Structure 1
Amino acid sequence: MLIRLARRNEADELSALVMRAKAHWGYDAAFLEACRDDLRVRSEQIAAGAVWVAELDGMAAGVLELAIADSEAEVRACFVEPHAIGRGVGRALWRHAEALAMAAGASAVRCRHVAQAVFAIRHGAGGVGMCGLCRPRRVG
């Protein structure tokens, strides 16, 4: 598996990946359409170096958007292609987020969504309640 920065020309492809991943969890078409713009991967975020891609066999299998400010990092998005679920993509993206946060001096990683926090805690992050705040740990 390779984790790399997203490229600007991938915004639409990664947005489609996010929508497939969200749909996998049983959300209805009306809900998915209502949140399409909020879930869209933006080329501005890619250009800012905030979007990372996990590749399996040369294809995008997951996407991570991470914002770091001051002493806190926020996982704004972390989605895995349905066919890649269970293959370690989400775990690898989370570990990458932790490593980036620690390298930047962040003392906490906030998850935008409770489901992300539950995933992170299940994979070893030190959780603080259900507010989506996790303490990063050294990886490697």
Structure 2
Amino acid sequence: MFLDECREELSFGQHDLEETHVAVAEQNGAILGVVQVKVSSGEADLLKLFVEPHALRKGTGRVLFA
């Protein structure tokens, strides 16, 4: 699975989980995508947004971005 090949780049440390917002999209126990956002001074910065290639063009990224 492509997500396995990107595991290191898409992994989160304790600091990431404490200082940013992370959400995962899943279906039937399979991870379809992940998003990481940092909110500071009322502004949000998109740090990561990844969707498993087979889940592209099915609304997964749109839901994560929202």
TM-score with structure 1 length normalisation?
0.39
Q: Percent identity?
A: 34
Instruction: Give 1:62's match in structure 2, choosing from 33, 53, 61.
Output: 33
1:58 positional shift: 2.3
Q: Which has the higher strand share?
A: 2
Q: Can you list the C-alpha shifts for 1:33-83, whole angstroms capped at 9, x where unaligned?
A: xxx6xx34222213x152110112221100000100112101100000011
Backbone CA RMSD of aligned residues:
2.3
In structure 2, C-alpha distance between the alignment counterparts of 1:55 and 1:40, rounded to whole Å: 15
Matched, 1:19 2:6: yes
Aligned residues: 62
Gaps of 5+ in 1: 1-15, 21-35, 96-140
TM-score with structure 2 length normalisation?
0.76
Q: Can you list the C-alpha shifts for 1:3-23, whole angstroms capped at 9, x where unaligned?
A: xxxxxxxxxxxxx72828xxx
Larger Rg over CA atoms: 1
State the 4+ residue runs in structure 1 displaced beyond 4 angstroms: none
Q: Which has the higher helix share?
A: 1
In structure 2, C-alpha distance between the alignment counterparts of 1:40 and 1:88, rounded to whole Å: 20
Higher relative contact order (CA 8 A, sep 6+): 2
